[in-house]
Amino acid sequence: MAFIVAEPCVACKYTDCVAVCPVDCFYEGANWLVIHPDECIDCGACEPVCPTKAIFPEDDLPEKWKEYIALNADLSTKWPNINKQKEPLPGADALKEKEAKREMLSMEPFAG
């Protein structure tokens, strides 16, 4: 079982999780992160440091975000690996508590 990055990460992209991951299993999109399920060792280090509470064990992922299991698996094979902490996206603090960010989600890889 892997950990999953869900909707609260969208448009924020804090990378505190990346800084504590011992196996570099995070991948970076334009406005959120995903975890490669085959690389995640299920250590749980990332979950408590996520400022938006966007990371869940797969079995504990809220039903409303179940689509993020497939999104993490798919996009982690297409996006670049991220293994260093970066600044969050501009406006992240204002969007941190926003609900229903699905329409803001970008499927594009990080290009910077």
Whole-model pTM?
Answer: 0.96
* Separation CA 17–CA 20 (nearest Å): 6
pLDDT of residue 112: 80
Distances (CA, A) of 10 to 30, 33, 41, 92: 9, 8, 23, 9
CATH 3.30.70.20 for domain 3-84:
yes
Could you report the per-residue pLDDT of 53-112, keeping only the tens digit for each?
A: 999 999 999 999 999 999 999 999 999 999 999 999 999 999 999 999 999 999 999 998
* Separation CA 33–CA 28 (nearest Å): 5
How many residues make up the chain in this entry? 112
Query: Where along the chain do its domains lie?
Result: 3-84
* Separation CA 24–CA 92 (nearest Å): 23
Sequence letter at residue 82:
I
